[in-house]
């Protein structure tokens, strides 16, 4: 099979297959059938990504001309990261799409949903396989546009179940409750805030480097040409794009209100696209920059320090915020932010710890993707079953919903790093990486990581117990049906076992297994200790998911430490103040000057003055003549006298 055909199908099949449903948007009959075609489109992508994985040679570059004169080409690469991530993205999207067939049944605008869902998948695949920065940015923008469409999918804002935040909850002047259309606007406005600086960074690389292909750019030479200040500014611009997309502090708010979208969207958004895209691109860039070989470059260390700490802070912030959440999806959203933070931190640690740290970040992304997607899909099913977006459901309910119950147990335990389940091995390697930073950065990274891991473990257990074991009895129970939904998350969670197998068998990950060892040099390893701590936290939260003495702190956390004020109060206030100035003073002033008052008034005045002479009465003209004569006489007299 031709490679170009493989890639064409990989990227275009999802988009093309969702065009019929767009065209048939008026027909109820067709919009019920055509989603199957859209899902089939994603399935084609899955097949193609598997083809790339198994058949195409590794580390091969495929170049197709776009604007070759300017180095903008369609350059695709099958390196380690792309091959894995491509399969992960396509498979996750496919499982979610299957689930979505059930979940989105009877929705009021299926055409919109399926078109953007498939565009979302295709865009991420472009980001994943692209080696050319411009092509990558095309996919990147596709992610932004599609996420806007999907988050604001229920644009009518008429159903409180689609909102985020508790109705009527007010802090100061702000009501902490957001409708879907606002969620969409918030997402795209935040993302755009980062995308343009990132675009500038890409343009700068375009000028300063002979190529735009990530794998071919001489990063070291590039940094040396632009010096320390240049490196820092270039990276800050680039990181703006990555941090906003990945919802790291302080750009995290959009991710919380993104939960106004359908759950399928949240699942995709949080696992394999969008927020993962930011971390993925950072991992990919780091993979090729190889910062551990560039210790001589000035400025680079500061950047990696910044990313390390932003990542760790986001990790802790997300975990803490999640600990106070009572909404199913928002709790998961906060935890995602936390996980993505750890990915950033781990990849950034590679500056000191070397290549392994990047690999750790990537594998954590993979494990997290499947686990988190499963949890989201479960919570979508629960929202359908209970008609509530808040955590609820006791053991009685859990027994009726056995499949989601089991899936949740598997996904949470596999994700939080309880030995010897999948994430434990990756987390162990991460612990070791952070421990490695002791000499250069100190103990703080490790402390933050352990803290995050413990809280994170707690909130995952809280999610489990408040939904299936100790939660309130739901007001509404609808536990039958949902076969495709169950199929979707059952398939999703089963991949975690496959990943466990891969970690033990794959050549690249043998260091993870070594890091997770119980004892080393006769003492119990740090990794194992952290694993046990996570386990204890999990058990504790399972037993006591809510502590009434800490309600105030919990509310503070669930208000996201008042970060919404930045998005919803400070920024709009500044913006509207400027708008007010330019409109009510600037525009009105200039308009008055030229169009409505001063200049027209002046012309009017002069014209009136001239016209007032022309009355037609003889006496007036005689007066004017006499006046002129008098005037000339006076001038003459004065002149003669002087």
Partner 1 sequence: MIMLYFLILPLLAACLAPLLRPKAATYLTTLFFMLPFFSILYCIFYGCAEIHLTTFSPPIGEIYLTADFISHAFGLTICIVSAMVALFALPYMEHRFEEMELSVDGEFRKYIFLYDLYAASMLWLVYSGNLILLYIFLEIALITAFLLIYFYGYGNRRWVGQLYLIWSLIAGVLTLAGFLIIGINNDTLALKYIATVGKYAWPFIFVGMVIELPVLGPHVWLPWAHAEAPTPLSALLSPLTVGLAGYVLLRIALIDYSFIVSYRNYILAYALFSSIYAGFSVFKQTDFKRLLAYSTVSQMGYMLVALCLGPFGFIGLVIQYMSHAFGKSILFSSAGGIIAVHHGLRDVRQMGGLHDSIPAISNAAVVGFLNLGGILTVGMLGEFFILRGVVDTFLKPDSSYSLGWTGSLPIILAVILMFILSVWYGFYTIRKVFYGKPKDTKRLEISRYLYVPLFIIGIISVLLLLPPLSTALIPGLKSVIWPLMGMGGVAP
Instruction: Give the footprint of partner 1 on this chain (CB under 8 A).
Output: 25, 64-71, 74, 109, 134, 137-138, 141-142, 144-145, 148, 152, 155-158, 179, 181-182, 184-185, 188-189, 192-193, 196-197, 199-200, 202-204, 206-208, 225-227, 229-230, 233-234, 237, 575-576, 578-584, 586-587, 590-591, 594-595
For residue 76, the SS3 value is: strand
Helices (H), 104-179: 110-129, 133-151
Residues β-bridged to residue 415: none
Judging by beta carbons within 10 Å of its beta carbon (0-12, 13-18, 19+), is residue 220 exposed, middle or buried?
Answer: middle
170-171 and 72-77 beta bridge pairing: unpaired
Least distance (Å) from partner 1 to the CB of residue 136?
12
C-beta of residue 250 within 8 angstroms of C-beta of residue 176: no
Spell out the residues 6+ positions from residue 523 whose beta carbon is closer than 8 angstroms to its own.
none
Least distance (Å) from partner 1 to the CB of residue 521?
48
Residue with tokens 């939660």: 471
Least distance (Å) from partner 1 to the CB of residue 206?
6
Q: Give the separation between CA 210 and CA 331, rounded to whole angstroms.
A: 45
For residue 441, the SS3 value is: coil
Dig out the tokens for 39 from the structure: 């899902």
Q: Give the separation between CA 191 and CA 183, rounded to whole angstroms.
A: 12
CB nearer partner 1, residue 72 or residue 561: 72
CB nearer partner 1, residue 207 or residue 640: 207
**Residue of 135, 278, 290, 274 whose CA lies nearest to 211:** 135
C-beta of residue 252 within 8 angstroms of C-beta of residue 337: yes
Least distance (Å) from partner 1 to the CB of residue 592?
9
CB nearer partner 1, residue 113 or residue 364: 113
CB nearer partner 1, residue 229 or residue 447: 229
Least distance (Å) from partner 1 to the CB of residue 223?
12
CB nearer partner 1, residue 192 or residue 400: 192
CB nearer partner 1, residue 204 or residue 305: 204
Least distance (Å) from partner 1 to the CB of residue 180?
8
According to DSSP, residue 437 is labeled T
CB nearer partner 1, residue 138 or residue 514: 138
CA dihedral 553, 557, 562, 563 (to 10 degrees): 150
Other CB atoms within a 10 A radius of the CB of residue 481 amount to 12
CB nearer partner 1, residue 143 or residue 437: 143
Least distance (Å) from partner 1 to the CB of residue 32?
17
Least distance (Å) from partner 1 to the CB of residue 293?
23
């Amino acid at each position: 099979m031709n490679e170009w055909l493989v890639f064409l199908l990989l990227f275009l099949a999802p988009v093309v297959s969702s065009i019929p449903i767009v065209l048939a948007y008026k027909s109820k009959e067709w919009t019920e059938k055509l989603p199957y075609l859209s899902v089939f489109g994603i399935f084609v992508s899955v097949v193609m990504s598997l083809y790339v994985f198994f058949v195409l040679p590794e580390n091969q570059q495929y170049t197709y001309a776009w604007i070759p004169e300017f180095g903008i080409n369609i350059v695709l690469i099958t390196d380690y990261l792309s091959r894995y991530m491509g399969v992960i993205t396509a498979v996750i999207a496919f499982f979610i799409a299957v689930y979505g067939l059930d979940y989105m049944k009877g929705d009021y605008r299926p055409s919109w949903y399926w078109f953007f869902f498939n565009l979302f998948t295709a865009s991420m695949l472009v980001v994943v396989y692209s080696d050319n920065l411009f092509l990558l940015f095309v996919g990147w923008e596709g992610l932004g546009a599609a996420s806007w469409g999907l988050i604001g999918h229920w644009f009518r804002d008429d159903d409180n179940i689609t909102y985020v935040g508790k109705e009527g909850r007010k802090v100061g002047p702000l009501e902490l409750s957001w409708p879907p259309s606002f969620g969409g606007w918030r997402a795209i406005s935040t993302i755009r805030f980062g995308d343009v600086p990132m675009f500038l960074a890409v343009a700068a690389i375009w000028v300063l480097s002979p190529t735009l292909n990530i794998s071919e750019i001489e990063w070291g030479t590039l940094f040396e040409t632009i010096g320390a200040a240049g490196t820092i500014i270039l990276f800050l611009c680039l990181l703006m794009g990555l941090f906003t997309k990945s919802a790291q502090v302080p750009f995290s708010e959009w991710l919380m209100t993104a939960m106004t979208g359908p759950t399928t969207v949240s699942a995709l958004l949080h696992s394999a696209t969008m927020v993962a895209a930011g971390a993925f691109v950072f991992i990919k860039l780091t993979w090729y920059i190889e910062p551990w070989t560039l210790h001589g470059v000035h400025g680079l260390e500061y950047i990696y320090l910044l990313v390390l700490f932003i990542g760790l802070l986001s990790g802790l912030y997300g975990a803490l915020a999640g600990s106070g959440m009572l909404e199913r999806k928002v709790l998961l959203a906060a935890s995602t932010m936390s996980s993505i933070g750890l990915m950033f931190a781990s990849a950034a640690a590679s500056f000191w710890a070397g290549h392994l740290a990047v690999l750790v970040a990537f594998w954590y992304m993979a494990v997290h993707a499947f686990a988190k997607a499963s949890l989201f899909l479960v919570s979508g099913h629960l929202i359908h079953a209970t008609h509530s977006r808040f955590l609820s459901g006791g053991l009685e309910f859990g027994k009726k919903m056995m499949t989601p119950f089991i899936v949740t147990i598997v996904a949470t335990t596999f994700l939080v790093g309880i030995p010897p389940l999948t994430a434990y091995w990756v987390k162990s390697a991460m612990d070791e990486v952070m421990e490695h930073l002791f000499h250069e950065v100190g103990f703080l990274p490790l402390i933050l990581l352990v803290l995050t891991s413990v809280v994170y473990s707690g909130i995952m257990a809280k999610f489990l117990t408040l939904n299936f074991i100790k939660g309130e009895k739901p007001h509404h129970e609808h536990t039958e049906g949902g076969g495709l939904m169950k199929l979707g998350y059952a398939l999703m969670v089963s991949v975690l076992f496959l990943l466990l197998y891969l970690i033990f068998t794959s050549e690249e990950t043998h260091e993870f297994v070594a890091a997770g060892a119980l004892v080393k040099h006769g003492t119990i390893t740090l990794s194992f200790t952290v694993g046990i701590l996570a386990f204890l936290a999990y058990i504790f939260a399972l037993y006591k998911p809510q502590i009434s003495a800490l309600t105030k702190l919990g509310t503070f956390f669930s208000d996201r430490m008042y970060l919404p004020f930045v998005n919803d109060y400070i920024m709009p206030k500044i913006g509207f103040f400027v708008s007010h100035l330019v409109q009510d003073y600037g525009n009105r002033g200039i308009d008055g000057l030229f169009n409505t008052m001063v200049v027209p008034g002046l012309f009017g005045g002069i014209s009136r003055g001239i016209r007032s002479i022309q009355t037609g009465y003889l006496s007036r003209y005689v007066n004017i003549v006499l006046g002129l004569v008098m005037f000339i006489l006076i001038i003459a007299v004065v002149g003669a006298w002087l």
